[in-house]
């Protein structure tokens, strides 16, 4: 749906079975003026390849592309768009799986050397990655790839607060959206009897300040977008 106009378009069914892990992505190819959507499903067993389908706004149809050894197992669900390329974390191998929307080919990219990774994002047109949560300091590091595609250009840019005090009850932190001044994070804490409490917080980049954001319902699904009145017929 286009948030500025409220217009939406229903796409044909890609025919991708959803009984296995699903990962997705959406982006624009400037060279061909084409919007593309990727949907793939993967079995959880090692060695299984994904069934990958691409929708093109030019052809208005789905087509299946060649399976990839890099896609699927233990990857983040929603691809991060940067440089007209979709990116997913593949956790077991500590790599980024990248899919170029123009040539429709997968490749792998290096991550910064940190102990654990929390998620990918886009910061000012640069690919970024979140490091391990430091529970004692109640913070999380944000790394930025200064030169796209060059693994030696990863730079730790910010150390973001996730709580006003050390909180050993924090059990899960998921980056939702990175903006110029702050990052939105979904934070889960344990609250007795194996219950989890989820909240959405806004952590500012250049000051030790966080704010809790009130939303109508859980599972925020926030994404950044560029406002436009263009209707994708």
Same domain, 170 and 229: yes
Same domain, 99 and 119: no
In total, how many domains does the chain have? 2
Q: Rounded mean pLDDT of the chain?
A: 80
Same domain, 95 and 189: no
Helix (H) or strand (E) holding 105: strand 105-109
Same domain, 129 and 104: no
Would you say 198 and 191 are in contact if contact means Cβ atoms under 8 Å apart?
A: no
What pLDDT score was predicted for residue 146?
A: 94
Q: Is the dihedral of CA 180, 167, 76, 214 positive or negative?
A: negative
DSSP 202: E
Same domain, 43 and 125: no
Q: Which of 109, 127, 160 is the last residue of a domain?
A: 109
Same domain, 124 and 206: yes
Same domain, 183 and 206: yes
Which stretches of the chain drop beneath a pLDDT of 50?
44, 217-218, 220, 222
Would you say 68 and 50 are in contact if contact means Cβ atoms under 8 Å apart?
A: yes
What pLDDT score was predicted for residue 164?
A: 79
What pLDDT score was predicted for residue 150?
A: 92
Same domain, 92 and 159: no
Say how far residue 195 (Cα) sits from the centre of its chain: 26
Cβ-Cβ contacts under 8 Å for 193 (sequence gap 6 or more): none
């Amino acid at each position: 749906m286009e948030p500025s106009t409220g217009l939406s378009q229903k796409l044909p069914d890609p025919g991708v079975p959803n009984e296995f892990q699903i990962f997705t992505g959406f982006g624009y190819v400037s060279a061909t003026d084409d919007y593309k959507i990727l949907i793939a499903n993967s079995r959880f067993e090692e060695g299984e390849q994904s069934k990958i389908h691409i929708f093109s706004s030019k052809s208005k149809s789905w087509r299946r592309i060649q399976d990839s050894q890099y896609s699927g197992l233990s990857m983040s669900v929603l691809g991060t768009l940067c440089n007209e390329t979709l990116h997913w974390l593949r956790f077991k191998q500590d790599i980024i799986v990248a899919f170029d929307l123009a040539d429709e080919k997968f490749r792998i990219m290096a991550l910064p050397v940190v102990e654990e990774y929390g998620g990918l994002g886009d910061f000012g047109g640069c690919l970024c990655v979140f490091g391990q949560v430091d529970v004692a300091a109640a913070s999380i590091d944000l790394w930025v790839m200064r030169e796209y595609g060059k693994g030696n250009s990863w730079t730790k840019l910010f150390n973001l607060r996730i709580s006003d005090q050390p909180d050993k009850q924090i059990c899960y932190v998921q980056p939702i959206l990175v903006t110029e001044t702050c990052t939105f994070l979904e934070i889960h804490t344990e609250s007795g009897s194996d219950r989890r409490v989820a909240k959405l917080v806004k952590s500012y980049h250049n000051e030790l300040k966080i704010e809790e954001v009130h939303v109508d319902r859980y599972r925020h699904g926030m994404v950044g977008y560029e406002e436009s009145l263009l209707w994708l017929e």
